[in-house]
Amino acid sequence: MVEIKKKEQLIICLLDRLDASNAEEASSIVIEAVKDLASDVLIDVSELKYISSAGLRIVLNIAKDVKAAGKETLLQGAKGEVKEIFRISGFLTFLKEI
Amino acid sequence: MTFRVDNIQKKIVLFIVLITVPMFLISLFLIQNYVSSELLKSEHRQATLINIETLKSIENFLNETSSFTQEAAFMIKANPNNYEIVLPLLKRSIQNDSSLFGSALALNPNSYLNKMYCKYFYRGVDSINAKWLMPPAYNYSESDWFARPKVQKEPIWSEPYFDKGGGEVFMSTYSCPILDVNSEFLGVVTADVELNTLSERIQNLNAAKGGSIFVVSKSGFFLSHPDKKFNLKQDIFTYAKAINSETLNKVGDDIKDGKSGVYTVEMPDGTYSLYTMYVSRTSWSIGILLKNSVLFGSLRKLKLYLLLIVFVDIILILIMVVLVSNQLKKSVAKEEKVKHELELACKIQQHFLPKINKLNNDNFSLSGIMTPAKEVGGDFYGYRQVDNKLIFYVGDVSGKGVPASLFMMAAQMLMEDAMEDSTNPAFILNRVNKKILRISTTGMFATMIIGVIDFKTNKMTYAIAGHPPFVIKSGEGIFSPLPVYALPLAAFEYIEYENYEMQLEKGASIIAFSDGVSEAENKRLELYDTERIALVLKACSNEYDASEIKDKLLQDVRNYTNGHEQNDDLTIVVVRI
């Protein structure tokens, strides 16, 4: 679902599936993680198989919080269907892909 | 629902009773077995103690009253020829012991003393009298009290007898043989012991112990009995006959045979346990009669208490069951209410969607459907005809359920509001985005695709906010134009949406859908994908109107998911010009 790592950046790994069934739980973990942000945030979706709009909402919230803190949100590992969803939803317009 | 809870309540009550009652009965049975065996054991001990105590009392009494005879026998043994030396001792003993009625010295005429001699002292009114008991008036040497010790060379107690014309009391005669140093039988010294004192003493001894004691002679005669009617008056056989008890009759027989035993005797006033003990010295038997109802009274009390405890226990459990199940009933009712409210919300939400989901006129046909994954959904669609233009849109709020549906209603109202003022898709999106950001603080967003077809020119103007693009069949081509990626509504305020235009051929079909279609999953969690929509559209006959195309697509999605749970709201709008 979601995993948090702290290196130079705060790494948020989205895992397997992120949809309405687990979005709320993931959201609470992520909100805690991006509190008092001191670094850029890297969202790693290489292990993500599916993301629904409820999952996208979490990503949007991360991006908003990160922007409010004056930092940048990066996206890594998007491919296939996941990348398509990110693209169609316009999320790639504010997530910097690396 | 109420019926079901009541049913459960009844079931629980039934189970508790079904489990508790047999358990209780089993434990009662075990307790009864254990306690009654313990009680019997303790009764046995008690009876034995009383028996022994009674025996001791009898022996003490007899020793007290008859010990002088042994003294006398010893004196004669020491000096056989001077046998009369014991006479004062005999006389004095009678004087000193009120239980002693008489005493005789009788010599064996066949011994080397070679003398017929039998002097008898007995208690008179106020002095000790003496008389001779000699043949021919009284052939003492043939009487039992003389002949038996002579043969046995042991002291004996005679069967109790009523001393008519003498003491007018029941007596037993103790005969102590006089043996010389060579164990030759020289004669006997006797003691006539009246038994009233002993009888009373035994009953007094027992008064504090509970139960009743009796002492019977070998012939079954009551030497001591708590009831004055029997005491020293009747024998056990007469008594057994009187109360019609075979067992007691058998007890009498056993006593005759010198056997001890334990018996259960049915008496007129209840069941008794009888413990008998044979006293070999006197050939008497002691019997202890204990009433069973007294013995088992404590057991009955215990059973009563247990019954009370279990009863209270069951009542308490039942009260708890009723309390808990009432609470359950309440919470079920609450759940019902929530469910009802959700159904109501679903209805209200459906009211926000177009009331007519199918249109067929000269210019175009349109058909729309929204199926929520939960009771209420976050998808929505709408259309509006203005002059010779058709505006139609499909929106999708992130997430689903009640929060999404509330957001959806707000978004839809804003859309309808904006459409009243403009038929410019980008303008509508920009306006809705700015307004919705003012009310949305939850990070929710809505994707949206909106198209406007001008039937004068068959030109479609459209704008997209993070939504999957149309699938269009125009002429021979099937395509899905996505000129630019734009963010959903309510994501960021700075976004400006743009219009795109395309020329449609007459007869073109346009499908707008939410990701609930393209991302519908089968059991292997594989997505339906936009390509399948295009294939369905391609397979559709040119005769199909919008409604038929929509049905075809819906059917294809259903076939694909094949019963797998719908996990997102699903919306399709088809327009055919």
Per-residue pLDDT, B1: 41
**Which of B194, B220, B248 is at the close of a domain?**
B194
Most B CBs within 10 Å, among A25, A89, A95, to test the B interface: A89
CA distance B573 to B391: 12
> pLDDT band at B553, cuts 50/70/90?
very high
C-alpha to C-alpha distance for B156 and B176, rounded to whole angstroms: 7
Give the max Cα distance, chain A. Answer: 33
Tell me if chain B has a CB within 8 Å of the CB of A66.
no
Which of B468, B464, B565 has the alpha carbon at shortest distance from B517?
B468
Of the listed ranges B170-174, B196-200, B520-524, the least confidently predicted one is B196-200
Please give the Cα distance from B562 to B434 (Å, whole number): 41
Q: Is B37 exposed, middle or buried (0-12, 13-18, 19+ CB in 10 A)?
A: exposed
pLDDT tens, position by position, B453-505:
999 999 999 999 989 999 999 988 899 887 778 889 988 888 899 999 999 99
With cut-offs at 50, 70 and 90, classify the pLDDT of residue B210.
Answer: low
Are B485 and A57 in contact (CB < 8 Å)?
no
What is the DSSP secondary-structure string of B180-198?
-TT--EEEEEEEEEESHHH
What span, in angstroms and rounded, lies between the C-alpha atoms of A35 and A5?
14
Q: Residue B291 — very low, low, confident or very high, per pLDDT cuts 50/70/90?
A: confident
Fold for A2-97, please state it. Answer: Transcription Regulator spoIIAA (3.30.750)
**Boundary-marking domain end, from B140, B172, B194:** B194
Arithmetic mean of pLDDT, B122-132: 87
Instruction: Identify the weakest region by mean pLDDT among A35-39, B258-262, B358-362.
Output: A35-39
* Number of other CB atoms surrounding residue B59 within 10 Å: 13
- The two tokens of residue A97 are 């892909």
Contacts of B217 by beta carbon, 8 Å cutoff, 6+ apart: B159, B160, B172, B223, B283, B284
pLDDT confidence of residue A45: 92
Closest to B442 (Cα-Cα) out of A90, A60, A38? A60
Is B313 contained in some domain?
A: no
Q: Retrieve residue B148's tokens.
A: 């038996």
Is some CB atom of chain B closer than 8 A to the CB atom of A83? no
What range defines the domain where residue B204 resides? 197-295
CATH of the domain at B434: 3.60.40.10
Asked if B206 and B185 sit in the same domain, the reply is no
Q: What is the pLDDT of residue A76?
A: 92
CB-based contact (8 Å) between A64 and chain B?
Answer: yes
Find residues 422-461 of chain B whose CB sits inside 8 Å of chain A: 443-445, 447
Chain B residue whose CA is closest to A87: B485
The whole-chain average pLDDT of chain B stands at 87
Structure confidence at residue B559 (pLDDT): 92
Question: Would the pLDDT of B206 be above 70?
Answer: no
A54 reaches B (C-beta below 8 A): yes
ipTM > 0.85, yes or no: no
User: Any idea what the CATH number is for the domain that residue B272 is in?
Assistant: 3.30.450.20
Q: 3-class SS at B392?
A: strand
pLDDT tens, position by position, B261-273: 888 888 888 888 8
Of B172, B194, B216, which residue is a domain's last? B194
- Does B322 map to a domain? no
- Considering A42-46, B406-410, B436-440, the range whose residues carry the highest mean pLDDT is A42-46
Instruction: Judge whether B202 lies within some domain.
Output: yes
- For residue A92, the chain B residue with the least C-alpha distance is B485
Average pLDDT rounded to a whole number, residues B172-180: 91
The answer, yes or no, to whether residue B82 has pLDDT greater than 60, is yes
Answer whether residue B300 is part of any domain: no
Are both B201 and B188 inside the same structural domain? no
A72 CB within 8 Å of a chain B CB: no
Question: Do residues B112 and B31 share a domain?
Answer: yes
**pLDDT tens-digit map of B503-519:** 999 999 999 999 889 88
Q: How far apart are CA B355 and CA B153, in angstroms?
A: 132
- The total domain count for chain B is 3
